[in-house]
Amino acid sequence: MEEENLQLMKRLEKLKKTHDAVILAHNYQWGEVQDAADFVGDSLDLSQIAVEVEAKTIVFCGVHFMAESASLLAPEKAVILPEMLADCPLANMITVEQLREARKEYADASVVTYINSSAAVKAESDICCTSSNALAVVNSLEQDRVLFVPDANLAYHVSRQTDKEIIPWKGYCITHYRVTSAEVNWARKMYPDSPIIVHPECPPEVTAEADGVLSTGGMVKYASEAKAKRIIVGTEMGMLHRLQKENPQKEFLLLSNGLVCPNMKYTTLAKVVDALEKKENIITVPEDIRYKAAKAVQLMLDVSN
C-alpha cells in the first residue's frame, strides 16, 4: 500500500474509534475504499448491515440513495455520505408527481420501486426491491399487474421470469445501458470458454445472451463457485477489484470499457477520512417521508429474509 494510503488508514482507524463508526462500501467503489471498509456488498447486503450493525455512525461509500436507504432504516445512526456529488442519475428518473400520475393510470397495479430511487418516491410505493430480490418481490404480490419503476431493463428482466404483467417505467442506468450485444458477441468469439455474467440493468438483448444475469452480490457468489478460470463481467469496473481479490487464481475481464460509474468514482479514501473527521454530509430524511419509505423497504427485507 502506498505511504499516503497507509497514513490515511491510520487516521481512519482512530476516527472510527472516536466516532464509533463503521465503513460500508458498495462493490463499485475504488479498490482503496473497498479495502478500508468493514463491509463491502451489494445494495441489499448493505441495507441489511446498516440495520444490524451496532455502531453509532455509518460512513456509506456509495451513492446518495444508498446512504438515504441506510438512514431511513436506521434513523438513530448518523449516516455520512463522503461525497455529496455522488448521486444516481437513474434514481432521479422518476419524481413523486410522475409516480402519482402513473398510479392513477394503472390503478389496479402494485407499485414496485427499485432501491435506486429517492426516499420520497419509495414513500409512494407499495414495496421496494433490489436487483437481487426483484423477482421474489414481484412474485410475492397479490396483484397480477405491477408498475415497476424506475429501471426499464430490470423490469424487462423480471417480466421474462414471471406470469405477472409488468409495466416498466422508462428509466435506465447511464453506465449499464451502454453495453451492447456486439460486445457480448465479441467476448464470445475471443473467449469461447469463458462465461459472461451481466447486471440486470443492461439492455434486454445483452441480458438475453449472457450466461448469468446477477446482482453484484450474485456475481461474488457465482465467481467463487464457477469452475471457469476466466469470467467476463458486465457491470461497473469496481466489481473487478473484489472478484480478483477473493479469487486470485481466476481472471476477470470487463465486458465493455464504458463500464465506469462516474458517481461511484467520486469517493476516495481521503474523502472518507475527511468526512468522518468533520462529521459532515450527514444524510437525513424528513420523518413523514422516512416512515412511509422505511415501510416499503422493510416489506422488501421481509421477502428477502
- Residues near ligand 13P (CB under 6 A) are 27, 42-43, 116, 130-131, 173, 199, 201, 215-216
* Minimum distance from residue 300 beta carbon to ligand 13P (Å): 12
- Residue closer to ligand 13P (CB basis): 43 or 118: 43
* Minimum distance from residue 134 beta carbon to ligand 13P (Å): 10
* Minimum distance from residue 27 beta carbon to ligand 13P (Å): 6
* Minimum distance from residue 20 beta carbon to ligand 13P (Å): 26
Report the SS3 class of residue 198. strand
- Residue closer to ligand 13P (CB basis): 46 or 269: 46
- Residue closer to ligand 13P (CB basis): 27 or 159: 27
Tell me which DSSP letter residue 83 carries.
-
Which residues sit opposite 80 in a β-bridge?
A: 59, 282
* Minimum distance from residue 205 beta carbon to ligand 13P (Å): 18
* Minimum distance from residue 236 beta carbon to ligand 13P (Å): 6
- Long-range CB contacts (< 8 A, 24+ apart) of 164-168? 164/138, 164/139, 165/109, 166/138, 167/106, 167/109
- Residue closer to ligand 13P (CB basis): 118 or 216: 216
Q: Report which secondary-structure segment, H or E, holds 61.
A: strand 57-61
Handedness of CA 242, 247, 249, 251 (dihedral sign): negative
- Residue closer to ligand 13P (CB basis): 77 or 176: 176
Query: By the 8 A CB rule, do 1 and 261 touch?
Result: no
- Distance CA(49)–CA(301), nearest Å, equals 12
- Residue closer to ligand 13P (CB basis): 57 or 117: 117
Match 414495496 to its residue by C-alpha cell: 127
- Distance CA(109)–CA(243), nearest Å, equals 39
